[in-house]
Amino acid sequence: MRRIYSVFLGLLILASCAKDNNKFNVDVTNINGDFKLARFDIDFYSTTEATLPKLKEQYRILFPHDNDSIWISKINNKEEQELFLETQKVFKDLSLQEKQLENLFKHVAYYNPNFLPPTVITMLTNIDYDNRVLYNQEYLLISLDVYLGSTHEFYGDYPGYVKLNNHKDHLIVDAANAIINVQMPPNRERNFISKMIYEGKKMYLLDSYLPGLSDREKIGYAEEKITWAESSEDYIWKYFIEKELLFSTDSKLNQRFLDAAPFSKFYLGEDNLSPGRIGVWVGWQIVRSYMQKNDVSLSELLQTDEEKIFKESKYKPKK
């Protein structure tokens, strides 16, 4: 009898997951996702002193000053040319990324009818991984040199948790996040539960904008780290409750559980097994629980107070 019950419970869980996933499979066929792609990376490192004025006219926003000698020196710099050549090996053809971006823009427009696809400009930023993708509604700037592959020699001295996502498959996640960060109003709440759920809203937007992408890729965890998060959800929640962290306004909790890091800081012996940003992960599960139990639109979700979401999510971690 117990075995039959276990099988039945398993089927119910699978059915629930399938129903939730179907929610994001919306029809975007007739939505405009067309955009202009400009390869500034190629245009810049292929230019000469004679053609530089024309390039500056074409890309005015990328030339903050008129000292041409600085730009010519940069173009002819041996290390920068090597970086350009290495980037070309990975991104000579951007047809796959163009399809991904078009699909992303269609999904953003589906939920935000006033959204217009931005002009996408690819460039090199000397591996500025803190600014992988920048978005200002008119332009989406992508630093291709950050996506050469997690094991590329150029990233040798970078922390492991950073270069983990320095591969081309993660580019579309960073593009979506750049758009989401502009769309989301700033978080004014100071308590930990509100901060977690605010980040969870962002992750739920990723669910909506990038349907079909794995949870692991969306949050940028290694396989063993997301396995730990999924299997330890009940333990994490109990820890937050027992330590009375949910309504704490201690800003140190940001570094411990919300900011990018190699692992989260429970101050226990096995912290290194955990992924960083585990508070973001928990906030994501709370928002998912809220959306499963409440008939609200995506725009209504974003306007709903975080503490209200917490109360009405009836969140229960998986054991």
Hey, how many other C-beta atoms are within 10 angstroms of the C-beta on 168?
17
| CB-CB contact of 115 with 105 (8 Å) | yes
| CB-CB contact of 147 with 166 (8 Å) | yes
Residue type, 311: K
pLDDT, one tens digit per residue, over 8-31 is: 444 444 444 445 557 899 999 999
Residue labelled with tokens 């109360």: 311
Reported residue count of the chain is 319
**Res. 230: pLDDT tops 60:** yes
Q: From CA 263, how far away is CA 273, in angstroms rounded?
A: 7
- The pTM (predicted TM-score) of the whole model is 0.91
SS3 for 246-259 is CCCCCCHHHHHHHC
Q: Where are the domains of the chain?
A: 37-183, 192-313
**Res. 4: pLDDT tops 90:** no
Residue labelled with tokens 């490192």: 45
**Helix/strand/coil for 142:** strand
Better-predicted residue by pLDDT, 3 or 40: 40
**Res. 288: pLDDT tops 90:** yes
Q: Kindly state the average pLDDT of the residues 154-170.
A: 95
pLDDT, residue 286, reads 98
Closest CA to 52 of 82, 81, 75, 85: 75
pLDDT, residue 15, reads 47
**Res. 312: pLDDT tops 90:** yes
Q: Kindly state the average pLDDT of the residues 228-247.
A: 97
Q: From CA 134, how far away is CA 139, in angstroms rounded?
A: 8
Q: From CA 102, how far away is CA 121, in angstroms rounded?
A: 14
Closest CA to 88 of 34, 46, 134: 46
DSSP 150-185: TT-GGGTTS-HHHHTT-SGGGHHHHHHHHHHHHHSP
Q: Kindly state the average pLDDT of the residues 107-121.
A: 97
pLDDT, one tens digit per residue, over 55-101 is: 999 999 999 877 899 999 999 999 999 999 999 999 999 999 999 99
Burial class (CB in 10 A: 0-12, 13-18, 19+), 276: buried
Closest CA to 141 of 171, 102, 106, 169: 171
Query: How far, CA to CA in Å, does 142 sit from each of 1, 135, 243?
Result: 56, 9, 41
**Res. 7: pLDDT tops 50:** no
pLDDT, residue 20, reads 56
Residues 6+ apart with CB under 8 A from 257: 192, 196, 264, 265, 277, 278, 279, 280
Q: Kindly state the average pLDDT of the residues 273-302.
A: 97
Share of the chain above pLDDT 90, in %: 89
Assign 318 a pLDDT band (cuts: 50, 70, 90). Answer: confident
Q: From CA 47, how far away is CA 291, in angstroms rounded?
A: 51
Hey, how many other C-beta atoms are within 10 angstroms of the C-beta on 49?
12
Q: From CA 112, how far away is CA 114, in angstroms rounded?
A: 6
